[in-house]
Amino acid sequence: MGLKFFNTLTRKKEDFVPIAEGEVKLYTCGPTVYDYAHIGNFRAYMFEDLLKRYLVYKGYKVTHVMNLTDVDDKTIKASNEQKISLAEYTEKYKKAFFEDIDALNIDRADVYPAATEHIDEMVELVKKLLDKGYAYRANGDIYYKISKFPEYGKLSHMDMSKLKSGARISSDEYDKEAVSDFALWKAWDEDDGDVFWETELGKGRPGWHIECSAMSSKYLGDHFDIHCGGVDNIFPHHENEIAQSEAANDEKFVNYWLHNEHLIVEGRKMSKSFGNFYTLRDLMEKGYPGIAVRYLLLSTHYRMQLNFTMDGLEAAKGALERLWDFKGRVNDVTGTRDNPEASELIEKAKKQFTESLDDDLNISPAMAAVFDFVRDINRLISEGNISQNDAQKVLETIDGFDSVLGLMKRPESDVDSEIEELIQKRNDARKSKDFATADRIRDDLFERGIVLEDTPQGTKWKKKL
């Protein structure tokens, strides 16, 4: 059994076959940098991180592009309200986005093209659509004529019979009720303030959808392997991307469309407009490390809704502690007699891990494989029935799993060396029988949430999370 993905285009699980052997070109819709992203948004980026890391684990060379939407209805409105330039306004949220993905241990994409730096490419694409008769002008704006593209609706599987011919919508976001010709280019109006480009299309700015068609072609080619986003992107955004790109280039745009389900809170999509959202910062201020949020977002299959609760986040912390403690225990193994059971457990865990993730990234049995492995190896350690040689192989296996899961990175690793130094000082104090100093160091560390444990192998420390 090989790698399979559920393709939104066909509504089927399909074998994954890349266009070029051994290589994957991946485009994922990125943030609109008008505010801090909420953890619902990060669910999308987390699923994409899992997808990409797993493709790399399978040996593919992945080229990953994620756009930054730094001009659209929302960014313009917000920057005008604050009376600062669009660039100054969005810069703050671009920076915050990168801080957040680092805290979540999300691997960086190869390119993060910003929309405002690709206006020329968008203009070229709109010109092409005008030339080919897929676009028309109306009141200075330019619209895509969806009746000219008979396959319109193939991704969202929409019934196009209700289509009101010639109806137009200029806003970037709209729902299925408003299916109609959509804006490729918006002529400047007063609400845009100083946000406009003087181009061959006139004075104005691009619509949202044209951005992803233009930038994906530039960095990945006109036809590439995988395109992702949340299910809310299926219509209209991705449907429109297909219409634009396939009409302009006369070839299939994307082979596999993968969409994640929503993160929900009390039965409702987490969203800015419902006011039921947490940013990563909110949760970190409550004392949850980014990696615990990563665990939570990662551990439910991407095509299932994930109900966010604080209890779930607490449980994520506990599970992480178990993983981190395990690695510490394996590191301390000193036995010399190899145990064939250890090798069998390694093979079993690897097999279940890969077979599960091969099946459309089925994360739950993959995580179960990891935790069963932890339990079984812990048993061998408790029995003293494992060698240092076995332990080394266990560590390599865990590192291999973690290249996909990214959970072993303990937070605040930069403070670790400081803690090690304090432990050294305490040990020196104990050697010279200065127990007052030794106890003070121990108490100070305890205050900071660090627990010390003196073992035959030396002093160990861990965080009280």
- Count residues binding ligand AMP (CB under 6 A): 17
**Residue 56: CA count within 13 A, CB half-sphere:** 19
Based on the shown chain and the rule CB under 6 A, indicate whether residue 41 belongs to the binding site for ligand AMP: yes
Residue 415: C-alpha distances to residues 69, 421, 465 (Å)? 35, 10, 14
CA 451, CA 463: separation in Å to the nearest integer?
6
Among 230, 289, 290, 406, which residue interacts with ligand AMP (rule: CB under 6 A)? 230
Based on the shown chain and the rule CB under 6 A, indicate whether residue 207 belongs to the binding site for ligand AMP: no
Minimum distance, C-beta of residue 28 to Zn ion, in the bound complex (Å)? 8
Residue 18 binds which one of ligand AMP, Zn ion, none, with CB within 5 to 8 A depending on kind? none
Residue 40 binds which one of ligand AMP, Zn ion, none, with CB within 5 to 8 A depending on kind? ligand AMP
Based on the shown chain and the rule CB under 6 A, indicate whether residue 236 belongs to the binding site for ligand AMP: no
Among 269, 294, 301, 426, which residue interacts with ligand AMP (rule: CB under 6 A)? 269
Among 40, 153, 204, 236, which residue interacts with ligand AMP (rule: CB under 6 A)? 40
- Count residues binding Zn ion (CB under 5 A): 2
Span of 2-10, 139-147, 262-270, 436-444 interacting with ligand AMP by CB under 6 A: 262-270
Torsion of CA 131, 135, 136, 142, to 10 degrees: -110
Q: Which long-range contacts (CB under 8 A, 24 or more apart) does 7-11 make?
A: 7/255, 7/256, 7/257, 7/258, 8/155, 8/234, 8/257, 8/258, 8/259, 9/154, 9/155, 9/254, 9/256, 9/257, 11/157
Residues between 423 and 462 with contacts to ligand AMP, criterion CB under 6 A: none
Sort 214 into a burial class: Cβ within 10 Å, 0-12 / 13-18 / 19+. buried
Please provide the DSSP assignment of 295-329 as one string. HHHHSS-TTS-EE--HHHHHHHHHHHHHHHHHHHH
Based on the shown chain and the rule CB under 6 A, indicate whether residue 238 belongs to the binding site for ligand AMP: no
Minimum distance, C-beta of residue 122 to ligand AMP, in the bound complex (Å)? 17
Based on the shown chain and the rule CB under 5 A, indicate whether residue 363 belongs to the binding site for Zn ion: no
Minimum distance, C-beta of residue 34 to ligand AMP, in the bound complex (Å)? 8
CA 4, CA 23: separation in Å to the nearest integer?
16
Among 39, 142, 155, 212, which residue interacts with Zn ion (rule: CB under 5 A)? 212
Place of tokens 């994520």: 316
- C-alpha 141, offset from chain centre: 34
End-to-end CA distance of the chain: 40
In three-state form (DSSP H/G/I as H, E/B as E, the rest C), the secondary structure along 230-281 is: EHHHHHHHHHHHHHHHHHHHCCCCEEEEEEECCEEECCEECCCCCCCCCEHH
Residues between 269 and 298 with contacts to Zn ion, criterion CB under 5 A: none
Our CB check for ligand AMP shows the closer of 32 and 354 to be: 32
Question: 306-307 and 268-269 as β-strands: parallel, antiparallel, unpaired?
Answer: unpaired
- C-alpha 238, offset from chain centre: 18
Among 31, 153, 204, 236, which residue interacts with ligand AMP (rule: CB under 6 A)? 31
Question: 224-230 and 23-28 as β-strands: parallel, antiparallel, unpaired?
Answer: parallel
Residue 23 pairs in a beta bridge with: 61
Asked, as a colleague might, if the bond just before 289 is cis with ω within 30 of 0, I would say: no
Among 113, 229, 236, 289, which residue interacts with ligand AMP (rule: CB under 6 A)? 229
Which residues, at least 6 apart from 59, have a Cβ–Cβ distance to it below 8 Å? 22
Minimum distance, C-beta of residue 39 to ligand AMP, in the bound complex (Å)? 8
Closest CA to 363 of 310, 264, 307, 296: 296
Span of 27-35, 253-261, 403-411, 455-463 interacting with Zn ion by CB under 5 A: 27-35
Based on the shown chain and the rule CB under 5 A, indicate whether residue 46 belongs to the binding site for Zn ion: no
CA 415, CA 212: separation in Å to the nearest integer?
40
Based on the shown chain and the rule CB under 6 A, indicate whether residue 68 belongs to the binding site for ligand AMP: no
Site string for ligand AMP, 11-30 (x = CB under 6 A): ------------------x-
Residue positions counted in the chain = 465
With H, G, I as helix, E, B as strand and everything else as coil, classify residue 58. coil
Based on the shown chain and the rule CB under 6 A, indicate whether residue 75 belongs to the binding site for ligand AMP: no
Based on the shown chain and the rule CB under 5 A, indicate whether residue 142 belongs to the binding site for Zn ion: no
Minimum distance, C-beta of residue 345 to ligand AMP, in the bound complex (Å)? 35
Based on the shown chain and the rule CB under 6 A, indicate whether residue 299 belongs to the binding site for ligand AMP: no
Among 109, 270, 333, 381, which residue interacts with ligand AMP (rule: CB under 6 A)? 270
Residue 212 binds which one of Zn ion, ligand AMP, none, with CB within 5 to 8 A depending on kind? Zn ion
Residue 263 binds which one of ligand AMP, Zn ion, none, with CB within 5 to 8 A depending on kind? ligand AMP
Q: Which residues bind Zn ion (CB under 5 A)?
A: 29, 212
Q: Which residues bind ligand AMP (CB under 6 A)?
A: 29, 31-32, 40-41, 43-44, 229-230, 232-233, 260, 262-263, 269-271
